[in-house]
Amino acid sequence: MNVIEGHLSSAGRRFGIVAARTNDLVVSRLVDGALDAFRRTGAADQDVVLVRAPGAWEIPLALRDLARSGKFDALVALGAVLRGGTPHFEYVAGETAKGVFQVSLELDLPVAFGVLTCDTLEQALERSGAKGGNKGFEAAMAAVEAADLRANLKKASSRRSAR
Q: Read off the pLDDT of residues 90-121 as tens digits, 9 standing for 90 and up.
A: 899 999 999 999 999 999 999 999 999 999 99
Residue 9 lies in a domain: no
Number of domains in the chain: 1
Asked, for residue 128, whether it belongs to a domain, the answer is yes
**SS3 call for 125:** helix
Does the residue 147 lie in any domain?
yes
Q: The domain that contains 72 carries what CATH number?
A: 3.40.50.960
Residue 38 lies inside a defined structural domain of this protein: yes
Has residue 2 been placed in a domain?
no
Tens-digit pLDDT profile for residues 22-31: 999 999 999 9
How does 71-99 read in b/e, with b if 16+ C-beta sit within 10 Å? ebbbbbbbbbbbeeeeeebeebbeebbeb
The pLDDT of residue 161 is above 80: no
User: For residue 59, with 0-12 CB atoms within 10 Å meaning exposed, 13-18 middle and 19 or more buried, which class applies?
Assistant: buried
Count of H-run helices and E-run strands, the chain: 5, 4
Domain with 134, as residue range(s), is 15-158
Determine the average pLDDT of the residues in 133-155.
Answer: 96
Determine the Cα–Cα distance for residues 151 and 163; give it in Å rounded to an integer. 19
Q: Of the residues 68, 88, 98, 154, which is catalytic?
A: 88
Domain membership of residue 33 (yes or no) is yes
Distance between terminal CA atoms of the chain?
A: 18
Query: Quick check: is 88 catalytic?
Result: yes
